[in-house]
Amino acid sequence: MAPLALACTTDAASAGATSVAVTSTGTATRYRTVTDFDPGWRFHYGDASGASAASYDDSGWRGLSVPHDWSIEGRTPPSDPYSQSASSTGRGGYLPSGIGWYRKHFSLAEVPADRKVYIEFDGVMANASVYVNGKLIGTHPNGYTSFRYDITGAVKAGGTDNLIAVKTDTSLQPASRYYTGAGIYRDVRLIATDPVHIDQWATYVTTPNVSSSAATVHAQTTVVNNGTTAASVSVRGVLSDPDGTALPAVTTAARTVPAGASATFGYDIPVTNPRLWDLKTPNMYELATYVNVGGIPVDDDLTPVGIRSLAFSPTGGMSLNGHSVKLQGVALHQDYHALGTAAPQRAMQRRLAQLKALGVNAVRTAHEPPSPAFLELTDRMGFLVLDEFFDTWTQHKYSDAGDYAAYFNRTASSPTGTPAVPGASGSAPWYQVDTTGIVMRDRGHPSVVMWSAGNEIRDPLSTRQPLLSRMVSISHALDPSRPVTQALFRPKDSGDVTGATRTTLDVFGGNYRPDEVVAAMGMSPKRPGLLTEMGTDTSSWTTVKNNPGLIGEFLWTGADYLGEADGLWPTVGSSSGLMDAVGTVRPIGYAWQSAWGAPHTSPPPTGTTAGRVVLKPDHSTVSTDTDDISYVQAAVTDSSGRVVTGSSAPVTFSISGPGVILAVDSGSQTQESYRGTVRKAYHGLAYALVRATGPGTITVTARADGLTLGTTTLTGTTAPFVPCSGTCD
């Protein structure tokens, strides 16, 4: 077809747009190398002098793959990890803290010598120090934010051996009001690019015009030239629909990018009859962005795209694709009980599916940014996300805390003077570096609908207000498409209702004070409101329904979590969830299911006389992929199969075939090891968490004294785990 010239828009969201041409597209090709860097690490608990050196002998260290949370395992697994004298206290779940080292050998045999090489971490808890071949590359204190380092100058090209070492340090305790985990607990990847390439998180996609018949997908991509000469650069975008069918490609006009400089390219992609992203039909497109130098493709990147419109109004609340939506939300911490914080994506998917069955349509990531793996699921499953930045600013929540307040306003620096996120000054404080990174990383997810600057911040108003203004400014500059709120603590008493906080925030949020939120909404200039945190009593839903400008609410919490149990030994976690930690729904969960109008389900019938153990896996096929897992439930039942909820019988699991029991679990929040093969039933239920080690039949058996044993089989496979879409189980 003949090229079609597209008019350029000039609004803020499309700054830098250039004239482009629509052409037919070919097959998508990758030009950068992205290597899964999770396997092949060696780990040591405790400090190790000289461990950063390439020559260090780590042969006695434990081999493992990351993600890995060493705290949930304990210092000497499989012994009990809990200790009443733990320096983390009950706030951290009485679990161990300290130093852990990771080392990995690798080569660049498949990477051309002229490539730029980066190492990217989705999250390391905490105070990560990264070394390559003995050279300190950088340090990153925040355990929840992602970061990347340019290691080109430190690595050896070709087949020569390289060594990366990562020191993690959670010694300063208590570090949080809830369990944080410890170690390289999220994914890692090695990225090799052409010197002229797309910067980190530098493709920003919006959908400024959306209807059922037509939509505009606007993309901005920042290209950096790390070469030694100027380059003639153009950008080509190929949008594929949810079925993988590519739409006509769009290519920008070429521009000269000097050596050491960067340039942003903007363009529009028209979409006819778009398949919109919605709660019930979370259709996902994918944008492949290619960088051409002199007309030759040299780099690429992939960006998830959900075509949807968002609007917020003081009188109408929030609308999605033109339809009013109330947030039926819950707050979630990031631990998965026996798995700690290093949860497979299947475990995340399971929890989200259980919550969706209760009518939950929104998640507040309390009180920190989630993993990219979690946001991939909220995109695919149709959730609305309040992405929260911090739990503390400059003031600790407790006077003895070793939390992020120790770093919040400290100048971020690295040995190279370059911060670990693009677009942030090397002399910026850590909160600005982290805010920049959070927004840039997560703004591509259609499920993310709002930012929260923090939770119950204790800084005095004179300090709090300028910090809030700066975070809102950063968020708006990087992502003008989403509003910023904050989970305010007693907003009337703290001066936030009558002060500048109310007008600085786009959406006025508050915890446990609905009347104060409603009052602030009505003041001039009016703002939409949000109950950012509420107890699980269903009476608050009446307030939300009766106030059109109230966007919704987030209950505390969706599921039980570890920590926030100071002084409660042997209790090690909070039991405030609609579900317990393994997903058993409480009566209040069913009450909210009714209040939200979700399809009704009833609690299963119960028995009184235990007679047997019945096994039921949540999935009968399980992969060797580290993102997969099967929760095999052992129910203590009567002769009719009804769960005997009064039973706390110890259940002993065994496994044969190509599988392994990663952990044992139950909904109990008392100190009891998750390792080994024995777990006491809690309300009649215990679980074995199983992963395949190869293809074939896996047999799991569960025994309890005096009861008929239970047996079930699973099929092991080597197929990669693929996250579900829409309604999942």
| Matching residue, tokens 């009566």 | 587
CA separation for the pair 718, 43 (Å, rounded): 25
pLDDT at 10: 26
Q: Is the CATH number 3.40.50.300 carried by domain 310-595?
A: no
Give just the sign of the alpha carbon dihedral 524, 527, 533, 539. Answer: positive
Is the pLDDT at 6 greater than 90, yes or no? Answer: no
Contacts of 419 (CB under 8 A, 6+ apart): 412, 413, 425, 426, 428, 433
Closest CA to 268 of 208, 214, 218: 218
Task: Calculate mean pLDDT across residues 139-153.
Answer: 96
Q: Strand 196-210 relative to strand 147-150: parallel, antiparallel, unpaired?
A: unpaired
User: What pLDDT sits at residue 529?
Assistant: 97
**Among candidate residues 463, 445, 446, the one with its CA nearest the CA of residue 454:** 463
Helix (H) or strand (E) holding 357: helix 345-357
State the SS3 of 126-151: CCEEEEECCEEEEEECCCCCCEEEEC
Q: What is the pLDDT of residue 76?
A: 73
**663: helix, strand or coil:** strand
Of 673, 669, 677, 614, nearest to 644 by C-alpha is 614
Tell me what the mean pLDDT of segment 52-76 comes to: 94
Distance CA 107, CA 134 (A): 15
Q: Is the pLDDT of residue 4 over 70?
A: no
**pLDDT mean over 378-384:** 98
Helix axes 345-357 and 372-381, enclosed angle (nearest 10): 40
Query: For residue 505, how many other CB atoms are within 10 A of its CB?
Result: 24
DSSP class of 14? G
User: What is the helix (H) or strand (E) element at residue 500, kind and residue range?
Assistant: helix 500-504
CATH number for the domain whose boundaries are 12-30+195-305: 2.60.40.10
Residues 396-414 have pLDDT tens digits of 988 767 899 999 999 987 6
Cα 204 to Cα 10, 20, 175, 446, distances in angstroms: 16, 17, 34, 12
pLDDT confidence tier of residue 678, bands split at 50, 70 and 90 = very high
Average pLDDT over residues 557-570: 96
The two tokens of residue 654 are: 């065994």
- Side chain identity at residue 543, one-letter code: T
Q: What's the distance, Cα to Cα, between the start and end of the chain in Å?
A: 44
Q: Whose CA is closest to 314, among 502, 85, 560, 568?
A: 502
Q: Say what the pLDDT of residue 2 is.
A: 30
Which amino acid is it at 476?
Answer: H
Phi/psi for 614 (5° steps) reads -115, 125
> Is residue 415 pLDDT above 70, yes or no?
no
b/e 525-560 (16+ beta carbons within 10 angstroms → b): eebbbbbbbbebeeebbebbeebebbbbbbbbbbbb
Question: What is the pLDDT confidence band of residue 494, given thresholds at 50, 70 and 90?
Answer: confident
Closest among 216, 303, 264 to 9, alpha carbons compared: 216
Same fold, 12-30+195-305 and 612-717: yes
CB of 108 closer than 8 Å to CB of 155: yes
CA distance 155 to 119: 11
**Lowest mean pLDDT across 171-175, 258-262, 485-489:** 171-175
Which CATH number applies to 612-717? 2.60.40.10
List the chain domain ranges: 12-30+195-305, 34-193, 310-595, 612-717
Are 83 and 119 in contact by the 8 Å Cβ rule? The answer is no
In whole angstroms, give the CA distance from residue 623 to residue 658.
10
Measured distance CA(577)–CA(561) in Å, rounded: 8
pLDDT in tens, 439-455: 999 999 999 999 999 99
**pLDDT (average), residues 109-125:** 95
Band (pLDDT 50/70/90 cuts) for residue 420 is low
Of 5, 562, 533, 93, which Cα lies nearest the Cα of 336? 562
CA 574 to CA 563: how far, in whole Å?
6
Q: Minimal CA–CA distance to 340: which of 538, 100, 112, 154?
A: 100
On the question of pLDDT at 15 being above 80, the answer is: no
Give yes or no for a contact between 310 and 449, defined as CB atoms under 8 angstroms apart.
yes
Q: Which residues of 429-442 are buried (b: 16+ CB within 10 A; e: fewer)?
A: bbbbbbbbbbbbbb
Place of tokens 């037509």: 214
> Comparing C-alpha atoms, which of 117, 103, 195 is closest to residue 155?
117
Exposure on the CB side of residue 439, measured as CA atoms within 13 A: 27
- Would the pLDDT of 113 be above 60? yes
Distance (Å, whole) CA 689 – CA 260: 50
**Which CATH number describes the domain made up of 34-193?**
2.60.120.260
500 vs 365, residue with greater confidence: 365
Using alpha carbons only, give the angle 521, 527, 528 rounded to the nearest 5 degrees. Answer: 85
Torsion angle, alpha carbons of 659, 664, 666, 671, to 10: -170
576 Cβ contact partners less than 8 Å away, ≥ 6 residues apart? 536, 556, 557, 560
Q: What tokens appear for 508 in the block?
A: 């006025």
Average pLDDT over residues 305-329: 97
Given pLDDT bands bounded at 50, 70 and 90, which one contains residue 459? very high
Q: At residue 64, does pLDDT exceed 90?
A: yes
345-354 pLDDT per residue, tens: 999 999 999 9
Q: Kindly tell me the number of DSSP H helices and DSSP E strands found in the chain.
A: 9, 41
